[in-house]
A and B are shown apart, each in its own frame.
Chain A
């Protein structure tokens, strides 16, 4: 057996391991990332999301998102642009938009030439990594204010060809030929988890269905979302089979749209805050991790621990780690982000989270990788009611509501914009304007929708800290973004 030792370097607890094959890291490689100066989020915006926008070009959607950033601050687009010193752009697939170097086109259409601009591409984590690049630019002092904006154009090919394109984000020689569909890589994870960790418990399948019901239900109250639907667990279990055990309603949407954020240094944040006192600058901490493109290449290793975990917790964990049931990249991203932000216990320190629910199983796997529950016990996060805005068992607020936007299953998965969408949604809660933005009847009307009569304000009261997980492939890249409202 090949083991990689990590905890012996990351904790004081040294576990000696025998035999060959230890991957060791130098202290330099595993140091906790440190920002040279604090970075703040000062605005964010989104376009409407839909399966198709036959009447809009990509640049129209990107500018729609940018206009919302200006609207939130009560500024004209021209005034907001006057702060921006560089643009960071992300779209997952040139194929979909049939446009190489789309970053240059969008930079131009935003009128930011000849300022610095660059593209970032890390699959489904493009949004998270794009913000990471912007954070680093500000933290380093290279710029004082950066725009990070993403988009995806997924409507210009039929769905089966879209599935083929997405499957090209697997290893083209060893995986893509096998079915040309991405659900083919996630369903084996679900099978392995269900059979080996959940011990074939039929109720586990129902737990996955609850996630789909929750996310599609929350999306009904989000005017930006296009997958809102009132469904039952039975509907999920009876929806068309995609790849056993995952069914159509377990899977995320294929979307078009754009979302973006503005990051800046403290001086710029204070200056903008003076003009827009209702927008409190939010501290930004982003940790990132990677793992092999092919899930099968993941050599067994120790479980890297988060601050609230101990080695003893996993003394009797009988499963290959990470195997097909966990995402090491998420764990590494959280490990870094939690330490950067001083998070001691995610269930206590976070008020809400937006996770990468590409499939219901990946949402559940993420509960464990993020430390909401120990490995092997992720389902308890749903079954306890902790993940809901209102715990259905107690009628009291859930401990850590997740994916109130509707997530990728209910809101959108316009791949290059997804990470930013999650973070914009978190920020709206932290700024205390989530209900105002989502409940604005004019916005519903502008999007060609009728605001539901039973519209619910899903704002998390007095939210101060949130987590967003931006995730690529079968966990090849993950960015964990923490937003925190600092004490006045």
Chain B
């Protein structure tokens, strides 16, 4: 739904080089409106648009279905005995082994994460880019799981702020899932089931 252009002005202010002054939710404004400087001289024109992208999840769909519908945290493992990376486990999920380029096998890491996942590093931020839908302040955490050769970026919910080394467990947005990485979040390991955020389950 486009809002009225009267709510969305763009003007040029200042001398040379000057600056744009955006007013309102610009990306919802109308196209073809002139942008003028303070003297009324034409500088540009508005070009907002809404574009729908349809995105293939391909071989990673298993992971996203796992967090959105099954409450499972899937990773992948190289099972090629001739590969120097044999048995390495990857989360984020990789479809192909980066060493031998063989298709890897899906492994269920839910229990391992529940038992051993820890915060490698973190931040707490209220600043986001456009189109963010996570509630601020967001507590981003990077998670190490023993036996996994990589580190997973995600976010922490619940009342506690993260710390390096903190034990955390995965939770899944099984109600109204988005089928994106936002369906996976984490809470402190000692969090009671009754205190889980709305729409999330262990």
Contacts and interface: CB of A to CB of B under 8 A. Distances in A.
Interface of A: 2, 20-24, 48, 50-56, 98, 155-158, 160-167, 171-175, 177-181, 183-185, 187-189, 191-192, 195-196, 241-244, 294-300, 324, 447-448
Contacts of A295: 142, 151
A448 B12 CA distance: 16
Contacts of A189: 121
B123 A188 contact: yes
Which of B15, B35, B44, B129 counts the most chain A CB atoms within 10 A? B129
Interface of B: 12, 15-20, 22, 26-27, 35, 37, 43-44, 47, 55, 57, 60, 64, 84-88, 90, 92, 94, 99, 120-132, 134, 138, 140, 142, 149-155, 164, 180-182
A191 B123 contact: yes
B12 A181 contact: no
Nearest to A448: B16
A161 B130 contact: yes
Given A2-B149, A178-B182, A448-B16, 11 more contacts: A21-B86, A21-B87, A54-B18, A174-B181, A177-B180, A192-B120, A242-B125, A296-B142, A296-B153, A299-B149, A300-B149
Which of A22, A54, A447 counts the most chain B CB atoms within 10 A? A54
Given A2-B85, A21-B88, A173 B181 contact: yes
5 contacts: A54-B20, A160-B129, A165-B129, A179-B129, A298-B150
B60 A173 contact: yes
A54 B127 contact: no
Contact of A180 (B20, B123, B131): B131
B142 A183 contact: no
Contacts of B15: 448
Contacts of A20: 84-88
Nearest to B136: A179
A439 to B, nearest CB: 21
Contacts of A158: 22, 26-27, 130
Contacts of A174: 92, 153, 181
Contacts of A183: 125, 127
Which of B84, B127, B140 counts the most chain A CB atoms within 10 A? B127
The 5 closest A-B pairs by CB, nearest first: A180-B129, A163-B129, A296-B151, A243-B125, A164-B129
A243 B127 CA distance: 7
Nearest to A192: B121
A294 B153 contact: yes
A195 B164 contact: yes
A299 B94 CA distance: 13
Contacts of A53: 17-18
A54 B37 CA distance: 9
Contacts of A172: 55
Contact of A175 (B85, B130, B150, B153): B153
